[in-house]
A and B are shown apart, each in its own frame.
Chain A
Amino acid sequence: MKNTALAFIFVYIALVSTLSNAHHVLGRPSYSLNEDSNTPPSMAIETQIGEYFITYMVFPAFPKPNEPGRVNLYATRIDNGEVLAQPITFSVRDDSFFTETLGFGQAESSEQIGVQTIDDGVYRQGFLFRKKGNYIVRAYFEDGGEPYEIDFPLQVGESSPIGPIGATIGFIFFLLLSINIAQRKRIARSKVQQGQSVR
């Protein structure tokens, strides 16, 4: 297994963050198979693209800055379950609100981190991030004359439990309620006055 440790320095503000529920009782989440398991907790995500089922795993599940980790990729054909055997190119780019959602500066920040061949049925790609934040790892291969590009999000470091969207919505609702309760009489009065002055 070849671990290529590459350094990335991205300066940006992560505007989009999400909830990360690390512990759940009901049913096992895919990243920790068992409380007593000796398997390193990993985050596994699946997708389906073209002819293939793709499973993508991150070790450790919540990578931290300046700690080596790796992504594994496993691809099987949908129709007969055969494993993909093509060299896969991995590249990484910044995933902040501006670059991804709004589409600015996507091309500049993309960086190739390695080309991997199949190893024991799996493609393994090591990484080391210097800054915490949200990244996108892209795996690229060609099969049957068609290009496949698979983008996976990768979060390095922790994110806040409530994203800016949730906070904004909560704030709006809170504001509406508090204005209406605190200014109840005054609003009722000015509603009549304003309504009458319009007509």
Chain B
Amino acid sequence: MALDTMTDFRTRLQDWLPKLVLAPSFAVTLLFVYGFIAFTVVLSFTGSKMLPRFDFVGFENYAKLFALQHWHIALANIAIFASLYIVICTSIGLLLAILLDQKIRGEGVLRPIYLYPMALSFIVTGTAWKWFLDPGIGLERVMRLWGWESFSFTWIKSNDLALYCIVIAAVWQTSGFVMAMFLAGLRGIDNEILKAAQIDGASNWQLYRRIVIPLLRPAFLSAFVILSHLAIKSYDLVVALTGGGPGRSTEMPATFMYSYTFTRNQMGIGASSAVIMLMTIAAIMVPYLYAELKEKK
């Protein structure tokens, strides 16, 4: 009898063990991710300043947020930055992938060169580009020393153009990664389809325009999702490259949230800006992840 209960216990333990081992991860995720999200959402409806308070003020923070000039600058900047970043990264990535796919000698050397920036931190990237784009010591000076006396490149000091410096550095960092994604997609295309089209007299241009690029749809989708979520989260690069300046000209939602929450003691407004960021990313990621996980079944 005792032996029976013993084996019974053991089998039941074996049934429960997997869930027991998974439980801590799941609990931690529920608490630290979803619990924290809920907490920040709640905070965004309170009048919290330096410390969290629970005096509910309804949508006041959101109303204040969208009345702030500062937030409008951040929104305009992220819109410009994200669209340029996504379009340029995708174009360069696709171009390089197609060119590398032409039976190139030295592909094994070129590919890692295109991709290594992805291994660097945005702070390192920001430091390198900050000084390279600095008119006093960087590109402008180099061009003048090389004899182009009238060359001028002062974007990083300009209220209107500093944002494009962030685009340059961000593209430099991630375009190689997009290249790798497209290259993997290209290598997965069945050559028989291409040969058949060639026999039908399709030109190279038509081949890419009509067959190859449409077949790369999944890679385009992945690139878009990854790049857009990277763009919305971009914080480090802005801090390292421009610090949000000159003035507030390169402020982004991520830097806005940080400064309102931790340096300006407007926690309620900071929380509401974080909620807006989350909703934007969720609008892109949730359908994508849902589709990916659904397909697997």
A, B: real partners: no
Chain B interfacial positions (CB closer than 8 Å to A): none
